[in-house]
């Protein structure tokens, strides 16, 4: 599975039936072979991909940069206009599975992620008025988030 762009018509793209069969096969293979170390909950997320990058926990909690380390890749790591209905991103499915867990049986992790993203966006808006949130790294320095 992979994530195509909206409008793509590629031979590698799975039909809905092929995708369902691939999910069923992964679920069976993980039971039979310990090498397929994917939690069942993560595999099941492939059957309900996010509707858009805005609905994707991974896209909302990560920032992707191009090879020049300064050009943002948006709206998610695939750039352009990703076809989320065919999302094949294992990171997205893994974080979606984690988001469904509940802390103390009450609070969905996804609610905490959404709240964290909202706080980060508010902080970014305030930073736009008072200066940059990111220090520009010097040669050989890692990116530092303040």
Mean pLDDT by 10 residues, the chain (146 residues): 94 95 96 91 96 91 92 94 95 93 90 86 74 50 42
Domain span at residue 53 reads 1-100
Which 3 state secondary structure label does DSSP give 110? helix
Of 83, 109, 76, the C-alpha closest to 95 is 109
Question: Could you tell me if 48 and 78 lie in one domain?
Answer: yes
| pTM as predicted | 0.75
Q: Please tell me whether residues 91 and 110 are part of one structural domain.
A: no
The answer as to whether 146 is a domain residue is no
Rounded-to-integer distance, Cα 11 and Cα 94, Å: 26
- Whether 53 and 90 map to the same domain: the answer is yes
* CA distances from residue 92 to 73, 83, 98 in whole angstroms, order as listed: 16, 13, 10
Is 142 within the bounds of a domain? no
Kindly state the tokens that stand for 77: 């790591």
Look at residue 25 and tell me if it is in a domain. yes
pLDDT for the residue numbered 130? 57
SS3 104: coil
Cα R_g (the chain), whole angstroms: 18
């Amino acid at each position: 599975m992979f994530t195509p762009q909206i409008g793509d018509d590629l031979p590698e793209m799975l039909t809905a039936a092929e995708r369902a069969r691939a999910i069923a096969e992964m679920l069976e293979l993980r039971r039979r072979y310990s090498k397929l170390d994917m939690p069942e909950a993560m595999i099941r997320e492939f059957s309900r991909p996010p509707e858009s990058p805005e609905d994707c926990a991974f896209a909302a909690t990560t920032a992707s940069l191009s090879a020049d380390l300064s050009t943002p890749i948006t709206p998610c790591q695939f750039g352009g206009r990703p076809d989320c209905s065919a999302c094949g991103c294992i990171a997205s499915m893994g974080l979606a599975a984690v988001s469904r867990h509940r802390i103390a049986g009450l609070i969905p992790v996804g609610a905490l992620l959404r709240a964290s993203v909202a706080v980060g966006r508010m902080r970014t808006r305030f930073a736009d008025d008072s200066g940059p949130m990111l220090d520009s790294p010097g040669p050989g320095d890692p990116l530092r988030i303040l």
